[in-house]
Structure 1
Amino acid sequence: MGSETVNWYDFGDLKDAALEGNYGAVIRRVRQILGMDQRQFADQCGMSQTALWRLENRGIGGYAIDPLARIATTVQLPHDLVGLAHQPTGGEDSMQRRGFLAGAVAATVPLRAEAVQQQPDPGAVEPNGLRQVTSAYRRLDATTPSRDLADVAHPHLRLIQTMTGRTTDPVQHQRMAAAASEAASFTAWLAWDMADHGSARRWYGTAITTAQSAQNELLTAYQLGSLASFDAETGHPTTALRRLDQARRQFTGPPPPLAAAWLASIEALAHAAAHDPAACDRALAAAARHTGRISHADPVAWPWIFTFDERKLSACRLACAARLPDTPRIRVTDHDLTTAVTGGHDKQRALITLTAATTHLTRDRDPEAAFTLATRALHTGLRLASGRIADQARQFRRAAGRTTGTYADEFDTLLHTAYL
């Protein structure tokens, strides 16, 4: 490709994009330097032109590791320019894997020297830096097995808790406690994905109590909502509704639209799990109403949710319909089916795809389409070693009953290997 003689560090705009975490802009600039159009470059890197276009236009945010590493290796681009510590290789032991993940996160959350100089107290930088590391781990969660992330997330949480305990300044202690709460809820999420429900509940409880000690009403409401979501999806709808009431009472005024939409969607799932279609329908209507207000509000007011939009609303409607297959109140459209399964988070997309598969069973009576979707989702679950996806796949199989056929046989063969 003619990249052997290129010194990529000579290009200042490329380094600036890397420093900002805009790795799509880095890839686009690399392609331009090599004088290639998108189709040529995509072919050389073994990816589709559409995938390359999406990558180049992603902006500052979460990126999947594999395509970045593939492109960097192909064009001999230093991996740190796309946020990777080094090229990932097969057969890493746990120590190497921890080093790779920690290096990748460090590359995505650089602390500019001038920002540190503007802080009169160097210790004040610590909470923000630690929160950025947690956020980077959350982005890696999209494409990384939870058991791999747990190798670095647990020590990260212990570090924050230790630093919080040593902090004597009251204001700084509150900020550190907030960082600890965020790290604890992410640790809980990883445990949930690994189907370790006991640990997940314990870490969500830690996240709530730590947020309360930080005296942060928004964060406390978020952590209560997160535990409510866990309760709703694991068969405890009454407890979920009680926690949602507690979450809403944290606000001294009306909650931000993003928070209101998200909490209403969890309420809808809880009512669906409790087999209350009328209440579920009302909660879905409230979620839709609040979703329509989000674009006019300040998104920073609820920073822990990446987005809540029509796609997530469709996914929530699908999940409710799957739990209430015999009610006409929850109407799922073809638009919901196609919209819900789009998005960049591999694990979430697989879970939603399994829900869509259940809808094909109950609404369309189309087992072949259902098993095709479910098989695709289960492949993702096995690749990412997700116990949560495997559990939902088993629920789908139970819902399918005695369905047989080539499409069912392939799914069953995969499911038998899902001892994660």
Structure 2
Amino acid sequence: MADQGSARTWYGAAIKAARRAGDPLLIAYQQGSLAQFEVEYGNCAQGLALIRSARRQLGSERPPIAAAWLSSLEAVAHATAGDDRAADRALTASAAEAARMTADAAPPWPWVFTFDERKIAAARVTCGARLARPRWVHSSVADASAALSSSHEKQRALLTLDVATGHLAAGHLDVAFGLATQALDTGLRLRSGRVAERARNFRRGYSSASPPALVRDFDGRLNDAYL
């Protein structure tokens, strides 16, 4: 379900094409996308280096949406590396940049989505999950509700797994594995390696010599991700 080598090849090809086009926004977007991929697989230093490079591409006049998005990616990278203070600073920076955007302004290409407080709340949920800070997760879920009800199934599944991780850190076993099972079922149906990998990360947060039935059921589903 996941072929990291092929994915990196395609990301690299996209960055080279953007450089040939000479479009700083497109280069930054592709570098940020690769950074997000690297962080997802634990390569935080490389992800942060790519984010810094993307900022250099844009210079001081970068559009607020680009700055807000890159700061949200930086926050998740720091959280994945276990640095809660740096993650919080990056989230604050992301919110400040998002506040500079006007509601009626269309996002510049290649951004085809808006970036608002709901996206920042979703990033904070992910940061809280990776830092094992249930308060961050639970305090942001209401604001991130739009993302949790999104029609984009894979993104919804990924965020649901982060919410599940927050519940697991708080000791809410039934809620955590109930949410995680729903998300994993979506990932299996979509054959998403990213969702499966996030589900594995979630599962590593719980250990027991005699796991209850709902955990065993989740393990059975997770095993299907290898088939």
Normalised to the residue count of structure 2, the TM-score between the two structures is: 0.90
Report how far residue 355 of structure 1 moved: 0.8
CA contact (8 A) 1:272 1:323 kept: yes
SS state at 2:142 partner: helix
Map of 1:289 onto structure 2? 96
Q: 1:379 aligns with which of 172, 185, 188?
A: 185
Amino acid across the alignment from 2:98 = T
Tell me what 1:391 maps to.
197
* 1:299 matched to 2:106: yes
Q: List alignment gaps of at least 5 residues for structure 2.
A: none
1:336 deviation in Å?
4.4
Q: Hey, what does 2:3 align to over in structure 1?
A: 196
Q: Cα gap change, 1:305/1:276 in structure 2, threshold over 3 Å: closer, same or farther? A: farther
Shift of residue 307, structure 1, vs aligned partner: 2.8
- Structure 1's 256 and 351: CA in aligned 2 closer, same or farther, altered over 3 A? same
Cα pair 1:341 1:353 within 8 Å, conserved: yes
1:260 maps to 2:78: no
Q: Distance in 1 between matches of 2:224 and 2:43?
A: 29
TM-aligned CA deviation for residue 206 of structure 1: 1.2
Partner of 1:94: none
Amino acid at match of 1:243: L
Amino acid of the residue matched to residue 313 of structure 1?
I
Task: Give me the whole-angstrom Cα distance separating, in 2, the residues matched to 1:348 and 1:320.
Answer: 15
Aligned length: 225
Aligned residue type for 1:373: L
Map 1:76-155 to 2 at 5 A: none
Residue number among 376, 390, 400 corresponding to 2:206 in the alignment: 400
Query: Match for residue 415 of structure 1?
Result: 222
Q: 1:279: how far off?
A: 0.9
TM-score normalised according to structure 1 size: 0.50
How much does 1:380 deviate? 0.6
Q: Which residue of 2 aligns with 1:75?
A: none
Following the alignment from structure 1 to structure 2, what is the Cα–Cα distance between the partners of residues 354 and 327? 13
Shift of 1:298: 3.1
In the alignment, residue 175 of structure 2 is paired with which amino acid? Answer: A
Q: For 2:205 and 2:147, locate their aligned partners in 1 and report how far apart those are by CA, in whole Å.
A: 20
Aligned equivalents of 1:407, 1:272: Cα separation in 2: 28
For 1:354, which of 161, 181, 188 is the aligned residue?
161
- Determine if contact 2:65/2:107 at 8 Å carries over to the other structure: no
For the residue of structure 2 that corresponds to 1:399, the secondary structure is: coil
Residue 337 of structure 1, CA deviation = 6.2
Give how far 1:340 is off. 4.2
What is residue 128 of structure 1 aligned with on the other side?
none
2:142 to 320, 323, 335: 335
Larger Rg: 1
Higher relative contact order (CA 8 A, sep 6+): 2
Q: Is the Cα contact below 8 Å between 2:44 and 2:77 reproduced in 1?
A: yes
Structure-2 separation of matches of 1:337 and 1:365: 22
Could you tell me how far apart the structure 2 residues matched to 1:404 and 1:386 are? 26
CA contact (8 A) 1:317 1:332 kept: no
Give the superposition deviation at 1:223: 0.8
What amino acid is the match of 1:224? Q
CA distance in 2, matches of 1:326, 1:338: 19
Cα displacement (A) at 1:375? 0.7
Match of 2:78 in 1: 271
- Give the Cα separation in 1 of the matches to 2:67 and 2:9: 25
1:248 aligns with 2:55: yes
Looking at structure 2, the residues matched to 254 and 271 of structure 1 have their Cα atoms a distance apart, in angstroms, of 24
Change (3 A) 1:339 1:225: same
Match of 1:308 in 2: 115
SS of alignment partner, residue 151 of structure 2 = coil
Is it true that 1:215 corresponds to 2:59 in the alignment?
no
Task: State the 1:396 CA deviation.
Answer: 1.1
Indicate if the aligned counterparts of 2:133 and 2:166 stay in contact, CA closer than 8 A.
Answer: no
Q: Using a 3 Å threshold, how does the CA distance of structure 1 residues 368 and 337 change in structure 2: closer, same or farther?
A: farther
Q: 1:289: Cα distance to partner?
A: 1.7
- Deviations along 1:345-374, whole A, 9 cap, x unmatched? 001101111111001011x31000001101
Q: Tell me by how many angstroms 1:295 deviates.
A: 3.3
